[in-house]
């Protein structure tokens, strides 16, 4: 079974097969994680997003990672243009991202806390949904070797680590 790792850091600096972007369904790279991906990854990512958008809310699509250390960016649509999200959407976007990584034969994937930025979703609830979903996926699918949660701030990192400990 693959492993789950939780680290504090900058998702755009992760050397993994794919990083996940908490996207809107029109794949417009604005602020937060998406903005950092746009700035550090370069214009090729947004250009490819423009060709693939819109996608269903809860869905996921891959693009190049441009200048990032990752090979791909998986854009998980955690909200529409109203910037609203829900537990169901976050769970679906997490699963869609993991399935997309499996489809691409990727071994490592890094997630931010989906929906907690522009979506305003509580980190505690997000951690429960995402950690449980990743653990369940890894138990049922053998292709992914590591799911890494990369949290920008220490508080969010501690919340995810606590939720992971609760699984054991």
CATH number at residue 89: 3.40.220.10
**From the CB of residue 77, how many other CB atoms can be counted at a distance below 10 Å?**
28
The H-assigned helical ranges of the chain are 32-41, 43-52, 87-103, 123-140, 154-167
- For the whole model, what pTM was predicted? 0.97
Q: Give the residue ranges of the chain where pLDDT is below 50.
A: none
Residue among 120, 39, 100, 50 at smallest CA distance from 111? 100
pLDDT at 144: 97
Domain count, the chain: 1
Mean pLDDT over all residues of the chain?
97
Tokens representing residue 107 in the block: 């071994």
Range of the domain at 116: 3-167
Please, what is the end-to-end C-alpha distance for the chain in angstroms? 14
Residue among 119, 120, 99, 116 at smallest CA distance from 159? 116
């Amino acid at each position: 079974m693959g492993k789950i790792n939780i680290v504090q850091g900058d998702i755009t600096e992760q050397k993994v097969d794919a990083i996940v972007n908490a996207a809107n369904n029109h794949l417009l790279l604005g602020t937060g994680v998406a903005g950092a991906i746009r700035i550090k990854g370069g214009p090729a990512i947004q250009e490819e997003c423009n060709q693939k958008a819109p996608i269903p809310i809860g869905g996921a699509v891959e693009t190049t990672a441009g200048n990032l250390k990752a090979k791909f960016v998986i854009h998980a649509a955690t909200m529409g243009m109203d910037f609203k999200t829900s537990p169901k959407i976050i769970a679906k976007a997490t699963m869609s991202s993991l399935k997309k990584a499996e489809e691409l034969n990727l071994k490592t994937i890094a997630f931010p806390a989906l929906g907690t930025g522009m979506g305003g979703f509580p980190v505690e609830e997000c951690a429960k949904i995402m950690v449980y979903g990743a653990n369940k996926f890894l138990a049922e699918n053998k292709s992914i070797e590591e799911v890494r949660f990369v949290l920008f701030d220490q508080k969010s990192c501690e919340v995810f680590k606590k939720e992971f400990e609760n699984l054991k």
